[in-house]
Structures are given as C-alpha cells and as structure tokens.
Structure 1
C-alpha cells in the first residue's frame, strides 16, 4: 500500500506542506498550471526555491501577494514572508463557489472544500457564528487559498492510498494579531485539531498554523509515531522562521505492508475428575446457550491416577464473565486456567438451499473468495429426515445435489 507520512516534529504550515510535497517529487510546473485554473494569477506570485535550515536541505515556497488587501478582523495572522502583508476579505461560501466553478478535478475540489470547511467550522465556533456567515482572513486570504488548494493538487498527484502523521507539534508562547496578544496555539488551530494527537511547547513560537492544522485534519487517515514503512522518497519543506530546532516539515513516501488482523479469543480450561459426565453434557448446553464459540472435553488422567476430563471453552471477551459464572456454578471446578489465542478462520456464510425435503441451511466456507467446503446443518437435516421418514443420508445427498447446481450456475 502506497503511503504518505507526515513527520510533524516542527509542526506544519501551508507553505511548508507545499514545499515538502514538491521536494518529494511533485512537478512544480504542474502545480502552477493547476493553480492557474482558479483565475487568481494576478493576485499572487508563487516562488519555489531550494533552501536550507540548520543543515537540512529542502524546498521553500513563498506566496507573495501582488497587491495589498483590506485586513478584516481575524484571530491570527501568519505571514509567509517577513513582511506582514494584508489579506482580502473572503468567506467560505465565496471560496466554495470559486472552487466549484473552476476546471480543477472533482477530487481536488472535494478535498479543498473539506479543508476549508475545517477552518470555517473552527472560526465560526470561535466567533459564535455560522461557518457560512463568518468573514475571516484564514479562509479569505489568497495565500491560504493557494496553500489549501495546492495541497489538494499535490496530494492527488502523489496517488497515495493512505496518509499518516505523527503527533503534531504546536509550539508555545504568544502571538500578536488583530485581537491583541493571544496564546499559542491559536484558538482556531486548537479547535481544528480536536481529537488529534498533539504536543506543545517545543519552542516558544507558533509551529502549526490553522491552515496546516486543516491540511492534517482533513487528509490524515491514521496517527502513529512508529510507522512501519519501506521508504522510497523523503521530502523537506523549509519554514520561514528560525527556531532552536530545524523548522522543517518532513514527509515520507513509501510502502506499508498490508497487515492481516487475526482476531483473539479466550480459552478457559479446568480439569474435572469428580462429577457425572451427564452433568457435563448439561454444562455444555448452558455454555453454548450463553454464546461461547466452542466447548469440548478431553479425556485425561489426573492426580492419583484418577480418570477425568479437561473442559475447554473458547469464548470472546464480552462473554467470558458469563461463561466463568456457569462453569463455577454448574461444575465441581474451583479454578480455571485462562489464556488468549489467535484464531485463524476461513470466511463463512450461511446459504439456504431448496431440496425435495424443504429448505436446509448450509454453512459455506471460502478462501480468497472461492468456495472451499460446505456442510449442511445437522439439526435441520435430522428434522427433515424424521418429518419425511427417510434416512438422514438422503437429506445430505439432496443438499449435495442442490449445492452442485448452485456452484455450476455461479
């Protein structure tokens, strides 16, 4: 499985993300060509250049506005360059319309709107308004538009099946914005990353922006600090700030082996040598009625050479307590051995087949989608045989004929 992994030890911003994905191999001319479909060419210049931060080489992206915009009230300003440029007043609704009216691919449109919606929801909650009503620069700024739609364009170009990420470092300290001095992380960043694993305070500065948070929230499938990958490529997006650690976003492109999940079951066992086998038969019935997976006995020799049986019960975790209660209540056992096992099973399905003696349930098992074996349900065959006063073998033969017809028909 082709996987993209975000290693966010120094956080993430929109421009760092673009730099990292371009450094990974996305064609810069393709990115610019796709961005031109937004008809915003006159509003910004996109500069892509090699750069280095604390000895780590990568790609640095700068979105520079070609003219000044009015700066509406907003929670946080995070310039891509050292000069604090202003942002145009736009809303989620207007940006959604711009995206839908473009000739971008449907995948890019859908993913871009999903990222913008993450920001709109957060800003709307902070401002106490509907996400459709708020007018705020985090959604409206041209650089945020380029960052988010550019992210979708690059992700589509990479053709990955899964996106993973480490914990997201948010930084700490305080930041100056239109509302005054606010703590880092910015309120919008925290709101977007609700239920996402994060770390804080690595440096006293903002390390993850609302735009970067939205890219993570909308695209990452799994969070893990210990991914298992065969790494093919590594990309670095260079940030604009200087920290005591490298201000870079590292992304890894590789293959993850498909992991076969083997379910675990519980085995309860006890040795019994001082009770009637008839009662054990009753115990088996009670355990099956309680929902255990299997019950069986094994002939053993216990201490002082006494003949006995080992009672074994295969049960799922949610039925374990009830099974334990039944064993202690109905047998002479005063202790159980408990172990967990992995259970490998074929896929199974119950089919109903029509026979001259009525419909019979058949348990079918499959391997890789192919029918491997089947077995008619005994109790139903027994009932049919007694009802029609025929040998039970005739019921089994009729089931076999019905299954043969069904297999040949398929």
Structure 2
C-alpha cells in the first residue's frame, strides 16, 4: 500500500509545528541536525526538542534558537539581522548534499514563498530578500520538514511531490508587527499563497496569527489537495506544538497512514457485503446487516471542523424559543437543540446548543444575542465525523419523495450506511392522500430499493 500523510490544522500551521509533528512521528532529531549541517549555517542556530502540554494535551515542541540573538523568539514577525536572497538560499540547498527528494521539495517551497512575497511587494522572486525567506529558522523549518517527510518514506505523485494532504486553514485575526510595520492577519504573503492554490479557509473565532508564511508555504507547495482527509488507514499521528496559548490546543496534527485500496468483490458476498454492478459499471453495495457491520474495519467517515455555541437561559418566554430555532437555521446552523437544566437560585432553565460550520459562527452568535436574553455565549471548536450523503428522488404512486442516502467510500466502492426518506415529503403526501405517515415512508423506502435493483 502507498504511504501518505494528512496535515490537520485546527489552530493553523507554522514551520516549527511541522518539525514538531515529524519528530513526534519518530524522525530522529540527530538525523535532522546532521543533514541540516550541510547548509553551512550550523554556527547560527541550535535545534532542540521537548515535550510540552497544551490544554492538557502532550505534543512535541521543536525550538530553533539563534545563537547570536538570545532574545529573539521563533517567529517570522521579529527582525532578522541577516537577509538572504532566494538565489543564495537555493545555492545553499544545492550544495548541502541533501537526499534528492528533500532537495527538490525544499527548492520548490522556497520558490513558492518567493513568488508570493514578490507578488505582494511588486518585485521579481529572485530579488526577494525579506525575513520570511531569509531567516535562519525559516531555512531550518522548511528544509527540516522536507527531510522529515522524505525520512518517513511518504510516496510521491507523478509531479514528484509527496502524497501529502491538508485540511482547510483557519484565518485567524487581529494584527501583528512585522518588518514593514503593523499588518492585518492573515498577513499578505499568507493570503497570496492561499490565493495561488485556491485554498479553503474559515474563521474559528480566534483572533491571533495562526498561519505563518513559512507554514503556509510548506503546505501550499507540498500538499496535493485541501479539505477532508483522503481514504486512509491511520498508522500513527504526530503532534507538533505551537507557541500560542489558545482556547483549544495549539497543536498541528500529521496523520501518517496507508491509502485504502479497492478490494475486488468475488461471488455474491464477500466479508458480509452483498454487492451488485449497475449499468454504468459503478460498484454499488446494499446496506450491511448489524452482524456484518461489527466485522467491518475500513469505514472511513469524513472529518470536518465544526463550531458549537452554548448558553443557559432562565428568563426567556418559551414562545420565543421556536422563533430562535428558525432564525438560527436561517443563519446557517446545522443543528439546534435544548436541554432542561436547573440553574442558580433553583430556577428551571434551558441549555441552548447550536452546531454550525465555522464560517457561520458569527451569524449564529448574532442571532443568540439579538433574539435571547443571554449575556454570554461559550464557543467550542470540535471535530466531527460525517458520512458522505446525497438526496435522491424516488417515485411512488402518491408522489415524489426525496430520500437521503449516506455512505462511506472505499476507493471506487460505496458502502451504504443509511437510507432515510425525508420527513417533510412523507408528511405532505400523508396529509394529502389521508394515509399514515409510516405507510408513505415504507413505500418510499421499498421503491428506493426496487429503483436500485
């Protein structure tokens, strides 16, 4: 099986976080130091690692300490005493005696970063000498990351790039002080790198610099695709710590695994799965029985980042809650629910919970503040596993019913997990024809199976 990796960036990505994930996965720090010494800058920095805790979760923190500036922390925001042009860095890499793949990838990352910086400042990439490109720590981060990916033995695609995938990026917010003064977050170089690859982004509500130019350059150059993880069997997860104190752990996660290959189905049944080939030669599968499901190990739901809003309310008319539900769904909520709770002074109240995608967090929060009496709302960022799904139309003698079909994908094979007629369609037809809702639902489900046979 081919080896691949997935970068999950719930709190962004930086160069030192990338190095942390690789050391966490077992890449020897001594190996990185030995190979990086070939760059000829070993006298300028010290590389070391430690285990740290972020919000109670342990991760590997890699430090790049400059030997001539002990007060300078690892961040592209600070002034760099030595600026290097792209050509000088490329020459360093070519003369370092790096493994072939690590050399190729390092050159590609620096070229991508120089193109972005050049576009931002209106100069040719070869003339770029800004601190984001010339810093010692950026050189160590980028070349070290490429060395680590090569050491892990990750496969390459036809273009020679690693089989690396990456999640969507959190935008962050606020401002940072850089060499050119105060800048909004995301900084211009990061925005340009995202634009060059058409990257998906979202706001997780954290107003800090979450993605650095070095981290963005590594991901946008080496990743083949962005978004949900590819079908894979996870073998090990590396955790790289950042330097920020955030509401959620400032940790980059690198999933290392093997690509899921399509298994040929022989006979009528294999591993409890009954299959058939449709007219377009696409393999389709019937739902698994409960017994079959217990023996299936290759279920690969999609992971996505989700925002959760919570607030307690004890002084709002129950009549308003229904209206709040409608307003929240209009604002983009995925789900809304309440729970009865006991509050201070023995008052009965409700816990109102809203689940939404990060990009709709602000809209949903605005509804809660506008339409309820709450004075504060808790924000949570979580990961949820979801099944692929689509709406299919099914003809019945009483009318058309939409049916929601959910499945997991295994290479070219879909394994169906759930088939459910839409409630509103069944209810409308039941009222119209004076038939029980259960009967309409049964007919719709039966016709779906007949339609697929």
TM-score (norm 1): 0.60
Residue-pair matches, total? 261
Separation of aligned partners in 2, 1:85 and 1:23: 29
Per the TM alignment, residue 222 of structure 1 is displaced from its structure 2 partner at its CA by 2.2
Residue in structure 1 matched with residue 127 of structure 2 by the alignment: 133
Separation of aligned partners in 2, 1:343 and 1:234: 32
Per the TM alignment, residue 154 of structure 1 is displaced from its structure 2 partner at its CA by 0.3
Tell me, yes or no, if structure 1 residue 182 matches structure 2 residue 176.
Answer: no
Per the TM alignment, residue 341 of structure 1 is displaced from its structure 2 partner at its CA by 6.2
Separation of aligned partners in 1, 2:22 and 2:152: 9
Residue in structure 2 matched with residue 217 of structure 1 by the alignment: 220
Q: CA distance change for structure 1 residues 149 and 82 in 2, over 3 Å: closer, same or farther?
A: closer
Residue in structure 1 matched with residue 29 of structure 2 by the alignment: 28
Match runs of 1:234-253 below 5 Å: 234-253=237-256
The ranges of structure 1 where at least 4 consecutive aligned residues each deviate by more than 4 angstroms after the TM superposition are 81-85
Instruction: Say which of 80, 86, 104 aligns to 1:86.
Output: 80
Q: CA distance change for structure 1 residues 255 and 343 in 2, over 3 Å: closer, same or farther?
A: closer
TM-score (norm 2): 0.54
Per the TM alignment, residue 111 of structure 1 is displaced from its structure 2 partner at its CA by 0.6
Per the TM alignment, residue 53 of structure 1 is displaced from its structure 2 partner at its CA by 0.6
Per the TM alignment, residue 85 of structure 1 is displaced from its structure 2 partner at its CA by 5.8
Per the TM alignment, residue 87 of structure 1 is displaced from its structure 2 partner at its CA by 3.8
Q: Any unmatched runs of 5+ in structure 1?
A: 70-77, 262-338, 345-410
Separation of aligned partners in 1, 2:112 and 2:136: 17
Separation of aligned partners in 1, 2:81 and 2:252: 25
Per the TM alignment, residue 258 of structure 1 is displaced from its structure 2 partner at its CA by 2.6
Q: CA distance change for structure 1 residues 127 and 259 in 2, over 3 Å: closer, same or farther?
A: farther
Residue in structure 2 matched with residue 198 of structure 1 by the alignment: 201
Asked whether the equivalents of residues 170 and 184 of structure 1 are also in contact (C-alpha less than 8 Å), the reply is yes
Asked whether the equivalents of residues 173 and 207 of structure 2 are also in contact (C-alpha less than 8 Å), the reply is yes
Question: What secondary structure is seen at the aligned counterpart in 1 of 2:49?
Answer: strand
Residues 252-272 of structure 1: per-residue CA shift (max 9 Å, x gap): 1111213599xxxxxxxxxxx
The structure having more radius of gyration, on CA atoms, is 1
Residues 286-343 of structure 1: per-residue CA shift (max 9 Å, x gap): xxxxxxxxxxxxxxxxxxxxxxxxxxxxxxxxxxxxxxxxxxxxxxxxxxxxx96638
Separation of aligned partners in 1, 2:110 and 2:75: 22
Q: Any unmatched runs of 5+ in structure 2?
A: 156-162, 265-278, 285-453
Per the TM alignment, residue 236 of structure 1 is displaced from its structure 2 partner at its CA by 0.5
Tell me, yes or no, if structure 1 residue 11 matches structure 2 residue 12.
Answer: yes
Separation of aligned partners in 1, 2:62 and 2:152: 18
